[in-house]
Amino acid sequence: MRRWATVTLALVLAGAGAAPAAAAQPSAVCETGWGSTTKSEPGSLAMTGALTGVRTGRHTCYDRMVFDIPGMTTADPAMYWVQYVPGFAHVPSQTGIPVEGGAIIEIQFTAPVDQAQYPVGLADPLPGLDFSGYRTFRDAKFGGTYDSATHIGLGVRARLPFRVLVLPERVVVDVAHSW
Residue 26: predicted pLDDT: 55
Residue 146 φ then ψ, to 5°: -155, 150
d(CA 93, CA 111): 20
Supply the pTM of this predicted model: 0.83
Nearest alpha-carbon partner for 161 in 41, 30, 40, 60: 30
d(CA 82, CA 63): 16
Domains and CATH numbers, the chain: 39-176 (2.60.40.3500)
Nearest alpha-carbon partner for 41 in 132, 165, 125: 165
Q: Is 5 helix (H, G, I), strand (E, B) or coil?
A: helix
Nearest alpha-carbon partner for 155 in 138, 170, 169, 172: 138
Residue 63: predicted pLDDT: 98
**Other beta carbons less than 10 A from residue 89's beta carbon:** 17
d(CA 103, CA 87): 9
Q: Average pLDDT by consecutive 10-residue portion of the chain (179 residues)? A: 46 45 60 93 78 97 97 90 97 94 97 94 97 97 92 98 96 97
Residue 4: predicted pLDDT: 44
